[in-house]
Structure 1
Amino acid sequence: MNTLRVNDIDIAYDSYGSEKNETILLIAGLGTQMIRWTVPFCEMLAARGFRVIRFDNRDTGLSTHFSNHATLDFEALAKTLMSGKRPEIPYTLDDMANDTIGLLDTLGIEKAHIVGRSMGGMIAQLVASKYPERVLSLTSIMSTTGNPELPPTSPEVMALMTRPAPNPMEDEAGYLTHSIAFAKRIAGTAFPFDEDEYRSLIREEIQRAYDPGSIGRQIAAIAVSGDRRARLAKVNVPTLVIHGVDDPMFVPACGKDTAEAIPGAEFMLLDGMGHDLPAQLFEKVIDGIERTARRKG
């Protein structure tokens, strides 16, 4: 793991494959760390002839955190947005997109294939629309456009995601139970949920960094991002949109809307996939990423 100074903050990253190969940059989702892009996934992708870089978004993992900002008040945020005003927040998704390009700049990489999941998909969309000269291809996984007419996440799933969790430093078992319950709820139906593997992943995240406020700050960044469809209409690189039929966070209509917003985008709808990326789907997803990266125009 390495750390670089990017846009006046520290960004932690690591890399797989030869630096001589074209780069695929992997962007993680809401409140999650780069290790959600697991080592086996990165190694499989690198074996297709790419340099693969994963990194911790600002406010997660070993990158700079914004813990000095007040804990998000969801009710106050909603009221401010409903009034048409812009809330005071520490950063936006555009700032996170700028971090992505800043990381490429600091590494001396002129162009890259951009792949993002969930919130990372939103960031990837912004990178492709804002910096077209830096993007070779775009893959948006289990994400959405911000279209206000799309079906929202169910109140039950939102409540599970935003309810206070036990402090893992004081009650690790309670924290793991809390995290696993949510992960099971958003997982797909096609493959058994590997509770032991997920528990190990969450423990690793706790050991790397624990910051209960970061999810709220990133939800706020998403909330003010708005409808990205007009920006997505300008994306002119090969694009793949991957979505799960069973996704309860962003229903399949969200993936379809993303693909329809981007000229020439391919839409890959996967049966039994939820708002997760189980190992059984690695090869299929990597096939899609590679196919998109090899497309011309």
Structure 2
Amino acid sequence: MHQIQTKNGIVISYQDFGHKKAPAVILIMGLGAQMTVWPKEFYLELVDNHFRVILFDNRDVGLSSQFDEYGCPSLFDTWINKYLSLGKPAPYTLECMADDVLNLMNELAISRAHLVGASMGGMIAQIIAAKHKQKVISLTSIMSTPGTFHLTTKSIVALLKLLPQHQTTSTHDKAIEYNVKLNQTIGSQGFLPDNVTLRHNATTQVNRAYNPNGIKRQLLAIAATGNRSQLLKKIKAPTLVIHGSEDPIFPIKAALQTAQLIQKSKLKIVTGLGHDFPPVLMAQIAQWITKHINKAENKRIKKQLNKLTK
């Protein structure tokens, strides 16, 4: 485990796998999830395919900087402030979190990278690909969306589970119980681990770090950032959109919209996938991403060669 401190004082905890001169792949995790949620079956497969893979904790989660001085502003107030321009912003936005990724790249001397973002991480990766084109060789957006939330009965129930309440997360044991129920709610129902494994995984996560108010502040960042549909149209990097057929947070409609907005993107629907990372499905997803990255790398190299021969 390593840490860097950015110029604006934010500490980012990260892991760096693979050869330092290999093509860099940066994995950006979703709402409230630590980098340890990425399955080893997934990222080590990418390392075995000769990529340099960087995992990190987003701000306000895991071992990266916590923004506890902001407390927990109201989600409703954040929406009202944004749409009525009352001048009371959220503690930070997804653009700020995108800057964290760029600062991490700068500290690690990575000029360009392949971005793989899941859920909220997909939103962050989309922003970087649209606003910092020279930094992104390829984009993979997993179980994400171009907007905020596509509310259905199913997604409302799941989103309520995503938002821990103080009364139910005030102790170590209750935090573990919350994590177990969350994964049972948003996970791939046909591939859920047994209860012993779920509890073991939850205990590992809570013991490493747990900050329910940080999760809420990240949710505020999503709300404050708003819809990015017009922004996605500016993305030029080769893009792969991956989505689960059983995602309870973002329906397939969100994936279709993402793919339609990003020019020449490719869409892969994973049968049975919810809003999680079942190890049994990770090899296939890693293969898709490997093929996508290699194609983008070949295109980049060919472009460089053409410049040299002119």
The answer for the alignment partner of 1:145 in structure 2 is: 146
Aligned residues of 1:67 and 1:211 also touching (Cα < 8 A): no
Q: How does 1:101-180 map to 2 (within 5 A)?
A: 101-146=102-147, 150-152=150-152, 154-164=155-165, 170-172=171-173, 174-180=174-180
* Structure 2 unpaired stretches of 5+: 300-310
Deviation of residue 63 (structure 1)? Answer: 0.7
Change (3 A) 1:227 1:47: same
Deviation at 1:212, TM superposition (A): 1.6
Q: Which moved more, 1:237-246 or 1:161-170?
A: 161-170
Deviations 1:105-150 (A, max 9, x none): 11011111000100000001011111111111100000000178x5
Give the residue type in structure 2 aligned to 1:108. Answer: A
Q: Which residue of structure 2 lines up, in the alignment, with residue 54 of structure 1? A: 55
Alignment match, 1:283: 283
Aligned equivalent of 2:305 = none
Partner of 1:253: 253
Higher helix share: 2
Deviation at 1:77, TM superposition (A): 2.9
AA of the residue aligned to 1:188: S
* Superposed displacement of residue 18, structure 1: 1.0
**What is the Cα-based RMSD across aligned positions, in Å?**
2.0
Match of 2:199 in 1: 199
Equivalences for residues 1-297 of structure 1 within 5 A:
1-6=1-6, 7-81=8-82, 83=84, 85=86, 87-146=88-147, 150-152=150-152, 154-164=155-165, 170-172=171-173, 174-296=174-296, 297=299
Map of 2:304 onto structure 1:
none
Higher mean alpha-carbon deviation, 263-272 vs 84-93, is at 84-93
TM-score, normalising length: structure 1: 0.93
Task: Output one character per residue of 1:15-41: Cα deviation in whole Å (capped at 9) or x when no partner.
Answer: 111112111000011011110113332
Report the alpha carbon displacement of residue 170 of structure 1 after superposing the two structures with TM: 3.0
Aligned CA distance change for structure 1 residues 71 and 195 (closer, same or farther; 3 Å):
same
Q: Which has the larger radius of gyration?
A: 2
For residues 223 and 195 of structure 2, the distance between their equivalents in structure 1, rounded to whole angstroms, comes to: 31
Offset at residue 186 of structure 1 (A): 1.1
SS in 2 for 1:110: coil
TM-score normalised by length of structure 2:
0.89
Q: Contact 1:25 / 1:112 at 8 angstroms: preserved in 2?
A: yes
- Letter of the 1:196 counterpart: V
- Cα distance in 1 for residues equivalent to 2:166 and 2:202: 13
Which residue identity lines up with residue 293 of structure 2 in the other structure? A
Name the SS of the counterpart of 2:14 in structure 1. strand
> What's the offset of the Cα at 1:158?
2.0
Post-superposition Cα deviations, 1:171-204, rounded to whole Å, max 9, x if no partner, equal: 41x3222221221111123323343333223222
Residue identity opposite 1:27 in structure 2: I
Which secondary structure state, in structure 1, belongs to the residue aligned with residue 191 of structure 2? coil
Q: What is the one-letter code of the residue matched to 1:109? A: I
SS of corresponding position for 1:284: helix
